[in-house]
Each structure stands twice: as structure tokens, then as C-alpha cells.
Amino acid sequence: MCWISKSAVCLVKEDVAQGSSVSFLSTEMQKRRLIVLLLCVLSSSCVYCQLDNNYVEDEIDAKQVDAPTRGFFGKHWRHQIVDAQSKLSETNNETMAVSAIAEETSTDVEKSASREGKFFSLFTVVKFANDDCTTVSNDNGTCYSASECSARGGVASGSCAGGFGVCCTFSYTCGQTTYQNSSYFSNLNYPSNYDATGSCQLTVNKASSNVCQLRLDFIVMMLVQPETNDSNCNRDQFIVTGGSRVPSICGTNNGQHMYVETGLLGNSPITLTVVTSGTGFARQWRIKVTQLNCDSIGRAPNSCVQYYTGVSGTIQSFNYDGISGRQLSNQDYTICIRTESNFCSIAYSVCSGGVYSITGPTGGSATAVGTPIGALVGSTTCNTDWLTIPCASDNGRAIQRGNSVCQDRLCGDAFASVVQTTSGTVISSVRPFRVTVHFDGFEANVPTSVTNVQGQFNNRGFCLSYIQQPCTS
Ligand SMILES: *[C@@H]1O[C@H](CO)[C@@H](O)[C@H](O)[C@H]1NC(C)=O
Ligand SMILES: *[C@@H]1O[C@H](CO)[C@@H](O)[C@H](O)[C@H]1NC(C)=O
Ligand SMILES: *[C@@H]1O[C@H](CO)[C@@H](O)[C@H](O)[C@H]1NC(C)=O
Ligand SMILES: *[C@@H]1O[C@H](CO)[C@@H](O)[C@H](O)[C@H]1NC(C)=O
């Protein structure tokens, strides 16, 4: 038996490029229930009809499973009944706009659904983008139609798109594979800790063929600290393979991020691996993996492992924690800062309350642990670990204080562009704004050919605040 009531018929399209859509029987059609009844009787998919308003959602899901996929509306459509009446009244204001979108959408649909096309004018189609949303538990999710969320293996929590979509999150742990934008990769049993030896991998496949980049956000990233001799990550390591080279890291990196190039051509996956060795440390990680299209405005320029936007901000070395975190060895990467419009140069200084220490020169006499070596500059002096800031100077010009020329390499345990004992402001007018990090594989344990490296011990890396400087003329 099949008849229609106030709860309207709804069809949910499985997959719509660049968004989701939900279609409802239009208000006009609801008035003409006889026709609907007729359609219903003719169609083998009587699941279009809803008996009353007070259905139990589980029952509907059960019906959905049995729903024939051949129906009036072609195999591209999956049938689902929702309480359209209440949804439409919530967004009554937008009905006009919604109808206008429907016109546009139905032409797309007609192409694939050919002869079924004519039925689509009977429906109001709501199309919405798969935007970010916030779940009831305050997680970041993606807005999908309810059926798409479950088909993609997500968990729905809260609504979005004016009640037409659900806020859907995608969480993965060891040994899993994702094809989904905005996936979260966590340790086993997160938010519990993980304290064991293991190798935990997530395989990330492109969500679509024009993805060029991944952005990894370390929401929580707590692994074992590097060893204390050379600051190498010899116990735990986070490793990215299959994309552009990014540094392997360990220690505490909450709030840090990385961009990984996937390349446009080819569909080989990127693998994220967390290697853990030994017990006695409460490890925890949760990494958000965002996929970025080649033409996305959020995409970082090529070869930027970190990318910051905004007139001011903070950059830090990996495992910087301001207390005891060590500068990690074997780091070679570039931090990029987007040049905002009408800004011509950039000024860096050590974060308020922060520390800065990067190995000094080889040669000369070795300094005892904790002996200040001050700010050091230039490629002859800074030859093991250094930061490159192009034409760094104290005044933004090539010739700086004391008639010295600007410097590209900075090291030591004070941050300045000239040799001095205290930290100062370092300005660079070279655009785009870049800071390149080079930390070699040695701290205490220097190669036999290299002796007496100043300030090699207990280096802490850097935390720098930056402020872009307006163009003056
Ligand atoms: C309807 O739209 C108008 C203007 O767009 C807005 O001011 C008003 O708050 C809306 N009403 C409801 C109930 O959403
Ligand atoms: C959600 O995203 C915001 C910024 O996009 C970020 O600061 C926050 O940590 C995220 N929260 C979770 C739980 O992913
Ligand atoms: C992934 O989601 C982000 C928003 O979180 C969006 O900016 C980006 O375009 C999406 N990527 C793809 C491939 O759709
Ligand atoms: C630490 O470095 C020193 C100096 O090179 C070396 O003699 C020692 O064996 C290293 N210790 C460890 C545990 O690697």
C-alpha cells in the first residue's frame, strides 16, 4: 500500500561533484497528491511514499535498504524519505532561492537521467557545498547529506546547510585507508594514550584527481623526545612517504602543520606513519588531513613545508615547546609566509618569553654547555645548523649597522643579523617571505673531521614572531 502524506518524498543523490544535494517533492506537487500516488503505484519504488509524519527513523533506514534501485529516477538516485515538510518550513525564507538552484541542478541531472529528467521539475532540489562544519562535540566535520555521510563511512553528528545536511566526520587509525577530504588520523583508542612499540600507518588516496597537496594539522602530536646526544628521533618518528620530502619529526608538535605535495599526475597514495618504540611514554596523536585542489586558494606555494598567512604570526621549529624541547636534527625545509597586499618587508624577533638557540660554528674553541655564544652570521660561521633569511638586516636595507652587508645565514644563541650578544629585530625585504631551516644530523656527536663546534649542546631551536611591514612609497 502506498500513499502520500504531509511528510514528503525525498530523493538523495549519491554523489554530486563539488557538493551534495537533497531533493524534495515540491510544495506544488504536495498539493497534487493524486499524481504522486499514481507515480508511486506505477513505480516499483514505493519507498517514495510516506505513511505519516511520525515515522521512526530506523524504520526508514530499513526500508531504504530494500528500496529497488530502478525507479523513475534512475540508478543515480538513492531513495530516502525525510520529513520535508518540517525542513521546508524551517527554511521557508529560502524557498525561492532553493527553487532557483533547482532549475540549474535539474539540467545537470537530466543529462544523466535523460528521460527521467522531466520528473525533476516536480522536485525542489537543495544543493549545498561540502563545507566545514562543527559537530555537537565541537569537532571539525564536513557537511554531507545523511546518506552520503554513511556511504562514505563517516559519522554524522549535528546538522548543517540549514538542516539539509549532517555534519560528518571521518576518523581513521592504524592500517586504514582514506579517500576522504578532512580525515582524522589518530592513535589506536584515541583519546586514550598509546604506550607500546608499533608502526601505525594511514594510506591517503586523493579524494579527486585534481588534488595537488595535503595539509597535515597536528591537533595533538606527542611522541617520545629525541635522544639527548645528537637530538635524533631514534625512538619515535612521524614519517611521510610518497609525496614531496618533509622532515621526520618526534617530540611534542601540537598545533604545528605540514604541507605535502602529491603531484598532479599519478594517483599514488601518500602514507603517514607513526613509528613508536619502547614503553613508558603516553603517546597520543590526532592529525587532520586536508586535501587541496591544484587551484585551491588555500594551497601553499610549491616547496613550502609550512605556510602562514596574515600580517603577523609566529613560526616555530618542530618540537619547540619553550621549556625543554630540543631542536631536532636532520631538518631541511622552508617556512613560507604569504606576502599580504601592500606589505613589502617582514620583521622577525624572538617570541616574547621564547628561546632561540641554533648551533654555532665549527673551529675555534668548544664552549661548555650553557655558555652563551651570541648571534652569529654568514656561511663561513654558520656551517652546521642555520636559518636562511634572505638579505637579513637590522634596518631592512642591504647595508646595515656598522657598514656590514645583509646576511643570509643566521645561527648562534641570540637572534640578530649582526654579530652581537643579544637578540634584536631582523628585517628582510626579499619577497616572497621565506625562512629556510637547515639542521644537520649532529649535535654532540660531531663527525671525526669536525671538531670544536660551539654551542652544539642542548639547542632548543626557535620561536619567532613576525610582523609584515607596509610599503613606504
Ligand atoms: C528571512 O530573510 C530576511 C532577509 O533575508 C531576514 O532578515 C530574516 O531574518 C529571515 N527570517 C527568517 C525566519 O529566517
Ligand atoms: C577545528 O579547526 C580549527 C581551525 O580550522 C582548529 O583550530 C581546531 O583545532 C579544530 N578542531 C578539531 C577538533 O579538529
Ligand atoms: C577539502 O576541504 C577543505 C575545507 O576543509 C576545502 O577547502 C578543500 O577544497 C577540500 N578539498 C577538496 C579536494 O575538495
Ligand atoms: C654521544 O656523543 C659522544 C661524542 O661524540 C659519543 O662519544 C657518544 O658515544 C655518544 N653517545 C651516544 C649514546 O650516542
Give the residues surrounding ligand 3 with Cβ less than 6 Å away: 132, 181-182, 207-208, 211, 290-293, 296, 298
Residue 305 Cα to ligand 1 midpoint, Å, equals 44
CA of 388 to the centre of ligand 2 (A): 31
| pLDDT exceeds cutoff 50 at 432 | yes
Distance 296 CA to ligand 2 centre (A): 19
Determine the atom of ligand 3 nearest the C-alpha atom of 210.
Answer: 13
**366-409 confidence digits (pLDDT tens):** 555 556 788 999 999 898 899 999 999 999 999 998 899 999 99
Is the pLDDT reported for residue 434 higher than 60? yes
Residue type, 413: D
User: What is the pLDDT at residue 20?
Assistant: 73
Whether the predicted pLDDT of 52 surpasses 90: no
pLDDT at 16 over 80: no
Closest approach atom of ligand 3 to CA 292: 11
Task: State the pLDDT at residue 117.
Answer: 37
For residue 456, what pLDDT is reported?
65
pLDDT value of residue 454:
57
Give the mean pLDDT of 255-272: 91
Across the range 166-195, mean pLDDT stands at 95
> Which pLDDT score is estimated for 24?
59
Q: Among 170, 293, 294, 307, which is best to mutate for testing ligand 3, by the most ligand atoms less than 8 A from CB?
A: 293
Burial class (CB in 10 A: 0-12, 13-18, 19+), 125: buried
Counting atoms of ligand 2 from 1, which one is nearest the CA of 288?
14
Res. 137 pLDDT band, cuts 50 70 90 = confident
* Prediction pTM value: 0.75
CA-based torsion, 56, 60, 61, 66: positive or negative: positive
Average pLDDT over residues 198-222: 96
The answer, yes or no, to whether residue 60 has pLDDT greater than 70, is no
pLDDT > 50? residue 88: no
More confident residue, 182 or 33: 182
Band (pLDDT 50/70/90 cuts) for residue 138 is: confident
pLDDT tens per residue across span 343-361: 999 999 999 999 998 987 6
b/e sequence 154-166, b meaning 16+ C-beta within 10 Å: bebbbbbbeebbb
pLDDT for the residue numbered 360: 72
- Residue 140 CB less than 6 A away from ligand 2: yes
Q: Is residue 322 very low, low, confident or very high in pLDDT (cuts 50, 70, 90)? A: confident
Residue having the nearest C-alpha atom to atom 8 of ligand 3: 292
> For all residues of the chain together, what is the average pLDDT?
77
Cis preceding-peptide flag for 432 (omega within 30 of 0): yes
Judge if the beta carbon of residue 217 lies within 6 A of ligand 2. no
- Which ligand has its closest atom nearest to the C-alpha of 227? 4
Decide which of 234 and 16 is more confident.
234
Mean pLDDT of 242-260: 97
Residues near ligand 4 (Cβ within 6 A): 229, 444-445
Instruction: Kindly indicate the confidence band of residue 439, based on its pLDDT and cuts at 50, 70 and 90.
Output: very high
Q: Are 328 and 461 in contact (CB under 8 A)?
A: yes
pLDDT of residue 317: 98
Closest ligand 4 atom number to CA of residue 445? 5
442-468 average pLDDT score: 73
3-state secondary structure (DSSP) of residue 254: coil
Average pLDDT over residues 293-306: 94
Q: State the number of CA atoms in the 13 A half-sphere of 414 facing the CB.
A: 16
Distances (CA, A) of 187 to 44, 199, 276: 47, 10, 11
Q: Is 219 in the pocket of ligand 2 (CB under 6 A)?
A: yes
Lowest pLDDT segment from 29-43, 93-107, 123-137, 297-311: 93-107
* Residue identifier of the C-alpha nearest atom 4 of ligand 4: 445
Q: Using H for helix, E for strand and C for coil, what is the string for 272-337?
A: EEEEECCCCCCEEEEEEEEEEECCCCCCCCCCCCEEECCCEEEEECCCCCCCCCCCCCCEEEEEEE
Share of the chain above pLDDT 90, in %: 56
Q: Whose CA is nearest to atom 9 of ligand 3?
A: 292
